[in-house]
Amino acid sequence: MTTIDLNNLTADQKKQIAAQIAQEEKEKKAKKAQDKKLLKSMENEVVLGQIDYFVDKRDDIENRITKLFENIDPVIGLRAEVYGNEKRNQDSHTFTLDDGTASIKIGWNVRPSFNGTEAEGIVKIRQYMASLTGHSENEKILMDFLNIALKTDAQGNYDPKKVRELNKMREKANSELFNEGMDIIDEAQIDIKTSRYVRGFKMVDFGDGISKRVNFNFSID
């Protein structure tokens, strides 16, 4: 590649090079804009070509799942009665054929959360943190861990999974104040039901001695 010394170029030559560079940049921008337009057109085509199918299927699946929950409720009640138990409000129930060739599991997807009183436990945890005035490496590590676990999201909510991890620190903390805070947090933890689901499988005979397990998994809000 030949190196051009700008000091050896005339004013007109410099203008020509500058104009050439400007034209190349203009063409690059034009191509990029055209590519973006083409990309968006292709994205829209994918969405419009497929969305109605899934919306229609969702309506059908939602109706079937709703009816399944209604129809299976008496079975759940009878199952508890047969085994001498009270009907429980558990998150899932599984029903399987005697020969094990098919099974259905229905239930609720749950999301861990708090009932609001966790803040009182957090206060005690932070009081414990404030007592760590030393500068040893272990104390720094513990402080970093606590700060990560007690970090809130944009809405000011604590991450239940991260806060639960603090239970592992009880022995290391060796603090009544820390334990009191964690006890409050543990009692404040709740699981919120978010959506219903149906999962399961069936052994399907495809002929010629070929049998295959077919799984399915559907959920609705």
pLDDT, tens only, 8-32: 778 888 788 888 888 889 889 999 9
If asked whether residues 80 and 110 sit together in one domain, one would say no
Whole-prediction pTM: 0.59
Whether residue 3 is contained in a domain is answered as no
Say which residues have a Cβ less than 8 Å from residue 119's Cβ, sequence separation at least 6.
none
Give the end-to-end CA distance of the chain in Å, rounded to a whole number: 63
Q: What average pLDDT does range 75-80 have in this prediction?
A: 88
- What is the percent of the chain with per-residue pLDDT over 70, rounded to a whole number? 92
Only one residue has tokens 């973006």, namely 36
3-state secondary structure of 136: coil
Domain, as residue range, for 176: 91-221
Give me the mean pLDDT over the 153-160 stretch. Answer: 76
Q: Are residues 76 and 132 in the same domain?
A: no
Express each pLDDT in 190-209 by its tens digit: 888 888 999 999 999 988 88
Q: Are residues 95 and 142 in the same domain?
A: yes
Q: Is 5 domain-assigned? A: no
* Residue 83, helix vs strand vs coil: coil
pLDDT band at residue 7 using 50, 70 and 90 as cut-offs: confident
Q: Looking at the structure, tell me whether residues 33 and 116 fall in a common domain.
A: no
| Per-residue pLDDT at 59 | 86
Average pLDDT estimate for 35-49: 94
The answer to whether residues 68 and 108 belong to one domain is no
Q: Say yes or no to pLDDT of 1 above 60.
A: no
Nearest CA-CA partner of 73 in 87, 83, 61: 87
Question: Does residue 186 sit within a domain?
Answer: yes
Please choose, from the candidates 111, 114, 125, the residue with its C-alpha nearest in 3D space to the C-alpha of residue 167. 125
Residue 137 has pLDDT above 70, yes or no: no
Q: Which of 72, 89, 106 is the last residue of a domain?
A: 89
CA distance 201 to 139: 51
Single residue among 62, 89, 116 that ends a domain in this structure? 89
Sign for the pseudo-dihedral over CA of 137, 138, 139, 143: positive
Rama region for 82: left / alpha / beta (φ>0; ψ in -120 to 50; rest): alpha
Residues 6+ apart with CB under 8 A from 57: none
> Where does the pLDDT of residue 168 fall: very low under 50, low under 70, confident under 90, or very high at 90 and above?
confident
Classify residue 45: in a domain, yes or no: yes
Residues 24 and 42 in one domain: yes
Residues 21 and 77 occupy one common structural domain: yes
Helix axes 137-149, 118-130, angle to 10 degrees: 160
Max mean pLDDT among 48-52, 87-91, 117-121, 140-144 falls in 48-52
Number of residues that this document lists for the chain = 221
| pLDDT of amino acid 200 | 95
Does residue 1 belong to any structural domain of this protein? Answer: no
Whether residue 103 is found in the same domain as residue 44? no
7 forms beta bridges with none
In this model, does residue 184 exceed pLDDT 90?
yes
Domain count, the chain: 2
- Within this chain, do residues 154 and 206 fall inside the same structural domain, yes or no? yes
Which band of pLDDT confidence, cut at 50, 70 and 90, is reported for residue 67?
very high
In a shared domain, residues 61 and 131? no
6 part of a folded domain: no
101 part of a folded domain: yes
Q: Are residues 115 and 180 in the same domain?
A: yes
Domain boundary among 89, 106, 141: 89
Q: Tell how strand 92-96 and strand 102-114 pair up.
A: antiparallel
Separation of CA 8 from chain center: 62
Element spanning 53, H or E: helix 11-82
Q: 74 and 98: one domain?
A: no
Q: What is the mean pLDDT of the chain?
A: 85
Residue 110 corresponds to which tokens in the numbers above? Answer: 């749950």
The answer to whether 170 and 181 are in contact (CB under 8 A) is: no
